[in-house]
């Protein structure tokens, strides 16, 4: 039996060497080249069982080569790797029929597992999706951190598959932007994108908003009205803040997803549901399930492809790029052109960004409008960041007056009681509120001790076993040595 041959094209000699050695050790034959022309000649000559190609090469772009390769050898798998990883490279690679896309630097182990899969999976014909229309300049999503690249890869994979997606992330992390990108680069881009925010609609109106109502279905329903499901026909329905959906609506939604059809409020005629669902929430739905506030079966229906958007403080390397992007946008909107000096960027990186990308966007607009100098320095940033908090490393005890914390808690409890007003059968409000306070307290103390539970227990004045139990009960992820 002959060994499978992998053709490698990359103008970076060191990458060729690393790949040749790793693939060789894994039992493959390797031929490598630094240019696209040689790779193309090998492909035309019928050589190789798999291609691994870089994007930017001196003579031709690796992405442009894929459709040509697919024309002469439709079964030949192509793996694309790029240091230039933006959402567009990931999406283009997928649309042109690449088997997989790996942003550089990649993990050799992952590369080998992709190679193994590529050679093992039976070939299916590529239905090449029409090309994305956005140009490189107008990227919808900014950021090149490893976590964002993982998100680009997921979006790219979903350009050809119409799967249900659940986006989870703190407020302002870009959930809606990702939902739109999934629609804009997906199969249904010709159809409508309809969004509905569960947190913004009075709970008694949610079902009629979703499914529509017949004339006279309830007091005030003077006309028949189309629901969002019907409006989104042939397109995408974005269920924003799904964690805030009331229980009755959850039950109804689950039934619609199971049966593929719905009836309007007060209606009898079933209507076929032809929508792709993308849901989003900032809540931890697993906790909500445990607390009986979210249906587990609905969760599994929606959580087909989970996407977790990282908070901005977990990807500080994107801050400079995002800040530049928002200053450019402000300039396009007629505000004066501004730059940031290194001190300003460093200051931005220290901020914990509780409001995430949206907070950064607002700050940049404010600075563009208010800062008198063309180059923004650290001081101007510091002044605008009035609510600046010290970085987590300086200790878990934030210098907050006791009334600041308790007034915040008071606000939250009021809100909680307001939204659970009709939940007369609530029996565990005490535990719910306490766990809301305990979770961030323990999480941040662990972050400050870099995951060292013994130190964290000492700082908190808790018994080690008690801390361990709380970590388990509150499902706090424990990552040692990180952050
Ligand atoms: N990666 C990104 N690149 C460029 N802009 C971004 C990015 N992420 C978020 N934004 C911008 O930040 C703002 C907030 O994003 P978005 O509304 O999508 O967040 P969200 O997670 O839906 O927030 P919320 O939970 O408050 O609804 C928007 O103006 C969006 O354009
Ligand atoms: Mg949103």
CB of residue 241 inside a 6 A radius of ligand 1:
no
| Position 129 in a domain | no
The answer on 354 and 428 residing in a single domain is no
Residue nearest to atom 9 of ligand 1 (CA): 174
Q: Are residues 166 and 302 in the same domain?
A: yes
Find the mean pLDDT for residues 325-340: 92
| Contacts of 339 by beta carbon, 8 Å cutoff, 6+ apart | 327, 374, 375, 376
258-263: average pLDDT: 91
**Shortest-distance atom of ligand 1 to CA 148:** 1
* CA-to-CA separations, 86 to 8, 142, 322, 421, in angstroms, rounded: 22, 8, 13, 46
Residue 160: its pLDDT value, please? 85
Residue whose Cα lies nearest atom 23 of ligand 1: it is: 172
pLDDT for residue 411: 67
> How far is ligand 1, taken at its centre, from the CA of residue 70, in Å?
37
pLDDT confidence of residue 398? 42
pLDDT of residue 354: 92
Chosen domain end from 278, 309, 340 = 309
Entry field: residues in the chain:
483
The CATH number given to whatever domain includes residue 286 is 3.40.50.300
Among 10-19, 99-108, 440-449, which range has the highest average pLDDT? 10-19
Mutate to test the pocket of ligand 1, among 134, 332, 357, 365 (most ligand atoms within 8 A of CB): 357
Is residue 94 a contact partner of residue 132, using CB atoms and an 8 Å limit? Answer: no
> How much distance in Å is there from the Cα of 318 to the middle of ligand 1?
14
Q: Are residues 87 and 28 in the same domain?
A: yes
Residue 424 clears pLDDT 60, i.e. is over it? no
186-204 residue pLDDT tens = 999 999 999 999 998 888 8
Distance of CA 283 from the midpoint of ligand 2 (Å): 12
Ligand 2 centroid to residue 438 C-alpha, Å:
26
Give the ligand 1 atom nearest the CA of 318: 1
Are residue 335 and residue 204 in the same domain, yes or no? no
Tell the residue number behind the tokens 């630094």, with chain if given. 34
- CA-nearest residue, atom 7 of ligand 1: 174
Return contacts of 459-468, CB within 8 angstroms, 24+ apart: 459/396, 467/442
Q: Which atom of ligand 1 is nearest to the CA of 141?
A: 3
Residue 357 Cβ < 6 Å to ligand 1: yes
Ligand 1 proximity of 177 Cβ (cutoff 6 Å)? yes
Co-location of 184 and 255 in the same domain: yes
Distance 258 CA to ligand 2 centre (A): 26
Banded pLDDT at 88 (limits 50, 70, 90): confident
Confidence of residue 6 (pLDDT cuts 50, 70, 90): very high
Nearest-CA residue for atom 28 of ligand 1: 358
On whether residue 147 sits in a domain, the answer given is no
333 and 419 in a single domain? The answer is: no
Question: Mean pLDDT, to the nearest integer, of 85-102?
Answer: 87
- Residue 248 covered by a domain: yes
Cα-based angle 366, 371, 372 (whole degrees, multiple of 5): 150
Whether residues 419 and 355 share a domain: the answer is no
**Average pLDDT of every residue of the chain:** 86
Which one of 309, 325, 346 terminates a domain?
Answer: 309
Percent of the chain with pLDDT over 90: 56
Q: Based on the number of CB atoms within 10 Å of its own CB, is 404 exposed (0-12), middle (13-18) or buried (19 or more)?
A: exposed
Identify which ligand lies nearest to the alpha carbon of 171: 1
Q: Is the CB of 450 under 6 A from ligand 1?
A: no
- The answer to whether position 419 is within a domain reads yes
| Ligand 1 atom at minimum distance from 173 CA | 21
> How does pLDDT run across 363-408, given as a tens digit for each residue?
999 999 888 889 999 999 998 886 444 444 444 444 444 456 776 7
Residue 173: nearest ligand to its CA?
1
CA dihedral 259, 264, 265, 269 (to 10 degrees): -80
Hey, how many other C-beta atoms are within 10 angstroms of the C-beta on 204? 12
The CATH number that applies at residue 108 is: 3.40.50.2300
Query: Ligand 1 in contact with 438 (CB < 6 A)?
Result: no
Q: Where does a domain end: 260, 288, 309?
A: 309
Site to probe by mutation for ligand 1, drawn from 144, 169, 173 as the one with most ligand atoms within 8 Å of Cβ, is: 173
| Average pLDDT over every residue of 340-356 | 95
According to DSSP, the residues that pair with 309 across neighbouring strands are 169
* Percentage of residues in the chain having pLDDT higher than 70: 87
pLDDT at 458: 87
Assess if residue 481 is contained within a domain. Answer: no
Average pLDDT score over residue span 285-298: 95
One domain, residues 233 and 358: no
CATH number, domain of 407, equals: 1.10.10.60
Asked whether residue 305 is assigned to any structural domain, the reply reads yes
Q: Are residues 192 and 260 in the same domain?
A: yes
* Together in a domain, 88 and 212: no
* Structural domain includes residue 145: no
Q: Is residue 229's pLDDT more than 60?
A: yes
* Whether 348 and 208 share a structural domain: no
User: Does the C-beta of 356 come closer than 6 Å to ligand 1?
Assistant: no
Q: Are residues 172 and 284 in the same domain?
A: yes
In angstroms, what is the span from residue 330 Cα to ligand 2's centroid?
21
Q: What ligand is nearest to the CA atom of residue 147?
A: 1
If you average pLDDT over residues 271-294, what whole number do you get? 94
- The residue range of the domain holding 32 is 5-120
Q: What is the pLDDT of residue 421?
A: 57
**242 alpha carbon – ligand 1 mean position (Å):** 17
Best residue among 175, 310, 330, 358 to mutate for probing ligand 1's pocket (most ligand atoms within 8 Å of CB) is 358
Query: What digits encode the pLDDT tens for the residues 125-173?
Result: 554 444 555 444 467 899 989 899 999 999 998 988 889 999 999 999 9
Backbone conformation region of residue 427, classed left if phi is above 0, alpha if psi is from -120 to 50, else beta: alpha
Distance (Å) from CA 399 to ligand 2 centroid: 31
Confidence of residue 233 (pLDDT cuts 50, 70, 90): very high
Split into its structural domains, the chain has a count of: 4
Q: Is the minimum distance from the CB of 171 to ligand 1 under 6 angstroms?
A: yes
Q: How confident is the model at residue 176 (pLDDT cuts 50, 70, 90)?
A: very high
349 in a structural domain: yes
Is residue 185 predicted with pLDDT exceeding 60?
yes
Q: How confident is the model at residue 420 (pLDDT cuts 50, 70, 90)?
A: low
What does the pLDDT read at residue 397? 42
**Ligand with minimal distance to 138 CA:** 1
Per-residue pLDDT reduced to its tens digit, 308-327: 999 999 999 999 999 999 99
């Amino acid at each position: 039996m002959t060994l499978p041959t992998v053709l490698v094209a990359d103008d970076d000699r060191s990458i060729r060497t690393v790949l040749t050695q790793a693939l060789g050790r894994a039992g493959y034959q390797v031929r490598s080249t630094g240019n696209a022309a040689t790779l193309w000649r090998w492909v035309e000559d019928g050589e190789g069982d798999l291609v691994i190609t870089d994007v930017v090469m001196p003579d031709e772009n690796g992405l442009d080569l894929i459709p040509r390769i697919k024309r002469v050898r439709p079964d030949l798998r192509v793996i694309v790797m790029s240091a230039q990883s933006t959402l567009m490279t990931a999406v283009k690679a997928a649309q042109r029929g690449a088997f997989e896309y790996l942003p550089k630097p990649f993990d050799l182990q992952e590369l080998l597992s992709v190679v193994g899969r590529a050679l093992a999976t039976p070939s299916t014909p590529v239905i090449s999706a029409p090309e994305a229309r956005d140009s490189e300049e107008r990227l919808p999503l900014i950021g090149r951190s490893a976590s964002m690249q993982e998100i680009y890869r997921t979006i790219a994979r979903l350009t050809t598959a119409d799967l249900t997606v659940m986006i989870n992330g703190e407020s302002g992390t870009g959930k809606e932007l990702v939902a739109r990108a999934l629609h804009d680069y997906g199969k249904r881009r010709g159809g409508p994108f309809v969004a509905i925010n569960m947190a913004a609609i009075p709970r008694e109106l949610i079902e009629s908003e979703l499914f529509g109502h017949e004339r006279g279905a309830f007091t005030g329903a003077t006309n028949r009205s189309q629901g969002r499901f019907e409006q989104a026909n042939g397109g995408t329905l974005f269920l924003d803040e799904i964690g805030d959906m009331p229980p009755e609506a959850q039950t109804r939604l689950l039934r619609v997803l199971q049966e593929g059809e719905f009836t309007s409020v007060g209606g009898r005629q079933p209507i076929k549901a032809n929508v792709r669902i993308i849901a989003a929430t900032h809540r931890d739905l697993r906790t909500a399930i445990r607390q009986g506030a979210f249906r587990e079966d609905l969760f599994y229906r929606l959580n087909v492809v989970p996407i977790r958007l990282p908070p901005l403080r977990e990807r500080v390397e994107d801050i400079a790029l995002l800040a530049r992007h928002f200053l450019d946008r402000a300039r396009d909107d007629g505000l004066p052109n501004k730059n940031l000096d290194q001190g300003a960027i460093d200051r931005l990186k220290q901020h914990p960004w509780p409001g995430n990308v949206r907070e950064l966007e607002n700050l940049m607009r404010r600075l563009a409008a208010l800062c008198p100098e063309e180059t923004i320095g650290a001081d101007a940033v510091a002044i605008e960041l009035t609510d600046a908090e010290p970085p987590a490393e300086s200790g878990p005890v934030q210098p907050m007056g006791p009334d600041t914390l308790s007034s915040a808690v008071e606000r939250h409890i009021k809100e909680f009681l307001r939204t659970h007003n009709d939940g007369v059968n609530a029996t565990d409000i005490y535990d719910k509120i306490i766990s809301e306070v305990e979770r961030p307290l323990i999480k941040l103390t662990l972050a400050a001790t870099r995951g060292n539970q013994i130190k964290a227990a000492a700082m908190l004045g808790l018994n080690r076993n008690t801390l361990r139990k709380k970590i388990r009960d509150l499902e706090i992820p424990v990552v040692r040595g990180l952050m």
